[in-house]
Structure 1
Amino acid sequence: MNFYKRSIRYLFRKRSKTAILFFVLLIAETMILCTVTILRASEEAKMGLQEKTKAKVVAEITDENHPITADDIEELKKLENIKDINRMAKTQGYPDGFRLYTGSDDTSKENNQVQFVAYDDLESDGPFSDGQLRMMEGEYPSAQNQVVINQKLADMNQWKLGAELSLHNEMGTEVKAVIAGFYSSGMESKQTGNTLAVYRIENTIYGAPELALQLQAQKGYESVSIYAKNPEQLSVVEQKVSQIFGERVELAKSDALYQQIEQPLEQVVRVVKLMQFLTMGTAAIVITLLLCMWMRARKKETAIYISLGEHKVNIFLQMLLESFMVFLLATAASVLTGSYIAKALKKMLFSENQIPSLALKIGIQGTDIGWLVSAGLGILLLAVGISLVPVLLTNPKDTLSEMEG
């Protein structure tokens, strides 16, 4: 009779032993699958976390006479692990045909100018990002010729969205811009009445760096935010940025959000890895002991097979196939139960207070099942080998004599 037929018949004949092995494998595989799923989901969440936290290095000039230049920006773009660069420029301009907010009678130029502040992305840096200013109507600039102005300045000049305004500098250079949105700070009324126009919130216009450069006498940027692809490499990015600028700028890292969220995530990953290690180790020990007990009861059966001329390889394959068939059934069942238990473990290990805004998606994928099958086969091969090899190495005559005695 072929070894695979003997395997099937043995499993049906020894239903109680088969059931015990099935439940042991089911528990072990379910726990292994849970830990594998959570670990993979944690790694995916960590990658998503790196995108959301927007870790950056901010370089701000120390001398207004030595601004950050376009050449400096090109050097920054050559650095590795750089995701994005947000330039900030600031300048003043004179209004063309519109009124400014001012309560001062001062005749200096500062009382007749607007402040023009420029970012590549207003939502990522500056007062809008910090919550000092909020959009009241419209949207952030999406083109180089668009600007956002204060709601009070718009009301004073009866501007609507899409209206055009014009500014010029002391050299006569004129720029035109289209109003894309209105903002408010809520602090306009708390300013002193004699504040000069250029320093008033109402007279601050936000737009793109290209417009600011046109108005500047000395072209350049006051600061630049360098966003890293991988927050873990932020210190390396800081060192490289320092090499480019030297003492011309002050550097500051901004990765507090990543550090706040990353630490509990790493702690949970370490706990899950320990659970995985203990589960696999315990499963290997329990399954090996269980099969060793069974093999002791099958010593006579094995000795008879060998005495009848059955090859030892076939006997080994029979025992392995028996365990493998039960293993496949347990694997299928663990896929059904593993997802529910993994979600329960997630609730135990993670909390919204620990990791805000982190969506850890728990779901069994093909890679998780592949990892489970590989680990399970390794454990089975080890357990069957340890339990069966001593029996196969024993002389059949000695085994039969021992049984008869």
Structure 2
Amino acid sequence: MSFLKRGFTSIIKRKSRNIILFVILFVITNLVLSGFSMKSASKESAKLARQKLGATVTYEYDMQKAMNASREETSSSSYSNDKSKRTMPKSEPVSLETAKSIATSKYVQGYNFVNSTVVNSDGINPVEETTTDDSSDSDDNAPSDMPGGMKDEGNSKNMISADFTLKGVLNSDSDEDFYNGNSEITDGRALSDDDIDSNYILVEEELAYDNNLSVGSKVKLVSSDETVTTEFEVVGIYNTSDTSSSSQPGRQMMNAMSPYNKIYCSYKAAQTMKGDNSEGDDAIDSAIYYLNDPENIDAFKAEALKKGVDEDTYKLDANDDEYQQMIQPIENVASVSDKVVIIVAVAGIVVLTLVVVLFTKERTYEIGVLLSLGESKFKLLLQFFSELLIIGVVAFGISIFSGNVIAQKMADSLLANEANVTETGKTVPSNGPGGQGGPGGQQFSGKGGPDGQSNSKVETIDTIDVKVTGNDLAKLAGLGVVIIFLSTALTSVSIMRYKPKDILTSRD
């Protein structure tokens, strides 16, 4: 009788013992399969999250580094005690040629070029904001960071007196407010890539209403230094849900900071409207790149540096905080699933070995008879291995159906807990352009994505679709064989010391 036949016979005759082994193997296979399935599902969810959220990298002048350098220079100079002698740095423009070169990277799925400045108008009036009684005309209240990089005292005065913010973009759909739904076109059309060399503008509904503007209306805008006057045509009217106001107690109100007084145009037109502060057609304030995967941020930065980005003057500011917050719960679930597999595998080997050793002692007489009949100890081990393997195959087959349900329940419970922990008090500041990350590629025909600054509360991933894959089953089968093999191998320690004569003579 072969060891396989004896194994089948033993399984049939010893039903109670084998039911116990089946339960143990069934629990092991279900937990291990759940761990593998959750890990696979977590990876897939992370991949989908990356594709959905993307990542934003902003190429712009590093003002913080420049200010630190200025501060160090002032402190080491003979005027270190005279703060009025400190010279504030002025923003350096980004080279349009370099920005376009970087945009050709294989990691970029969209991009946007931005220029901003403040203007007045010869013909329309701004939407007026109310001011507080404490408002002062003092220059001390002038903002230190102006659109278009204007930071000197003269430009601060221009900013205070300016009525409108002129934001130049490559494509208006790529602006953060339009992308996030805070603004939408209500009449006319959006600005497209084809409008780069045109004098087309988008105006807000309130501004249009107050000045009787409609699509096709002509508007004269004047640079803040009054050196440039250009006539623009309204091609679209938009509505904004932005209720932010520049009104603060003790500070002078600036009409240009009102969301109703924001006018969109092409980035080239905005550069021209900077007047004497214009750096020319080959300059922009910043370039925003929307990557196809947050994991490519480092590779993209390395590639951009090779294309001419000066690290001493400019920065590549990656904004993947939202992705990190969004992905944190499922990364934690993946980590837990790894631990589940390791703990269950180790515990399974220990428990299964102890149970097999216990049952082996009950079969001492059977072992003695087989050994006395000339059966080798190796074949005895193969018999015990085949018995466990047959039971394991049955448990494995049933776990294919039950494991998916168990894995889904475990994943939902773990993910709900992790999501609650992550959401508690976590609001991600989006430092710099790219508040909501890049689009999924379908929004802007290969260009665009949001830009601007925002503080957005990111929705973490709180659902995960767990499905048992062929790869999971293959890994389970392999690990199951290893567990059974190790359990049988450890059991062999007791079998190998058996001698047929001692076994048969010691029987009661």
TM-score range for the pair, normalised by the shorter chain length: 0.7 to 0.9
- Tell me: CA distance 1:256–1:391, structure 2 relative to 1, closer, same or farther (3 Å): same
Residues of 2 paired with 1:144 and 1:165: CA distance? Answer: 20
TM superposition shift of 1:367 = 1.8
Q: Tell whether the 8 Å contact from 1:93 to 1:168 is kept in structure 2 after alignment.
A: yes
Normalised TM-score (structure 1): 0.76
1:370 alignment partner in structure 2: 474
Which residue of 2 is the match for residue 383 of structure 1? 487
Greater Cα shift, 141-150 or 358-367? 141-150
Aligned residue runs from structure 1 range 115-264, under 5 A:
116-120=166-170, 126-128=176-178, 133-135=182-184, 137=186, 141=191, 143-145=193-195, 148-155=202-209, 156-157=211-212, 159-160=214-215, 178-179=235-236, 182-185=238-241, 201-202=259-260, 204-209=262-267, 218-219=280-281, 220-227=283-290, 231=294, 244-249=309-314, 252-264=317-329
Pick from 86, 92, 100 the counterpart of residue 124 of structure 2: 100
Distance 1:196 1:288 in 2: 78
Give, as a single letter, the amino acid of the residue that structure 2 aligns with 1:225: I
Helix, strand or coil at the partner of 1:245: coil
Deviations 1:317-370 (A, max 9, x none): 332221111111111222222222223322432224336341322222222222
The total of aligned residue pairs comes to 392
CA distance in 1, matches of 2:356, 2:162: 91
SS at match of 1:88: strand
Matched residue, 2:354:
289
2:407 matched to 1:335? Answer: no
Give 1:279 deviation, angstroms: 1.3
Alignment of 1:68-83 (within 5 A): 68-77=94-103
1:21 CA displacement: 0.6
What is the Cα deviation at residue 289 of structure 1? Answer: 1.0
Select 1:66's aligned residue among 86, 92, 96: 92
CA contact (8 A) 1:99 1:157 kept: no
Q: CA 1:32/1:6 → structure 2, altered by over 3 Å: closer, same or farther?
A: same
1:293 and 1:187 mapped to 2: Cα distance? 74
Contact (CA 8 Å) 2:245, 2:258: kept in 1 or not? no
Letter of the 2:205 counterpart: Q
- Give the % identical residues: 21
Structure 1 187/384 Cα, relative in aligned 2: closer, same or farther at 3 Å? closer
1:100-151 superposed Cα distances (whole Å, 9 cap, x missing partner): 33489xxxx99999754233465665455678x5225267555533864312
> Is contact 1:154-1:182 (8 Å) kept?
no
Q: Cα distance, 1:152 vs. partner?
A: 3.3
AA aligned to 1:159 is S
Supply the distance in 2 between the matched residues of 1:297 and 1:103 (Cα, whole angstroms).
Answer: 93
Q: Is the 8 A contact 2:126 2:163 kept in 1?
A: no
Deviation at 1:227, TM superposition (A): 4.2
In the alignment, is the contact (CA less than 8 A) between 2:201 and 2:233 conserved in 1?
A: no
1:302-313 equivalences under 5 Å are: 302-313=367-378
Letter in 2 for 1:101: N
Work out the CA distance in 2 between the residues paired with 1:147 and 1:398: 101
In the aligned structure 1, how far is the partner of 2:257 from the partner of 2:30? Answer: 65
1:168–1:158 Cα change, 3 Å: closer
C-alpha distance in 1, partners of 2:101/2:469? Answer: 42
The 1-side partners of 2:484 and 2:366 are apart by 21
Q: Which deviates more, 244-253 or 276-285?
A: 244-253
Q: Shift of the alpha carbon at 1:26? A: 0.9
Moved more, 12-21 or 357-366: 357-366
Q: Structure 1 regions of 5+ residues with no counterpart?
A: none
> How far apart in 2 are the matches of 1:399 and 1:167?
108
2:81 match? none
Q: Check if 1:86 corresponds to 2:112.
A: yes
Q: Give unpaired runs (5+ residues) of structure 2.
A: 64-88, 129-157, 424-458
Aligned 1:2-21 pairs, distance under 5 A: 2-21=2-21
Q: What amino acid does structure 1 have at the position aligned with 2:382?
A: L
Q: CA deviation at 1:14?
A: 0.9
SS of 1:246's partner is coil
Q: What displacement does 1:377 show? A: 1.0
| CA-CA distance at 1:82 after TM superposition | 5.4
Query: 1:342–1:122: structure 2 CA closer, same or farther, 3 Å change rule?
Result: farther
Aligned-pair CA distance for 1:23: 0.6
Whether the 8 Å CA contact 1:68–1:221 is kept in 2: the answer is yes
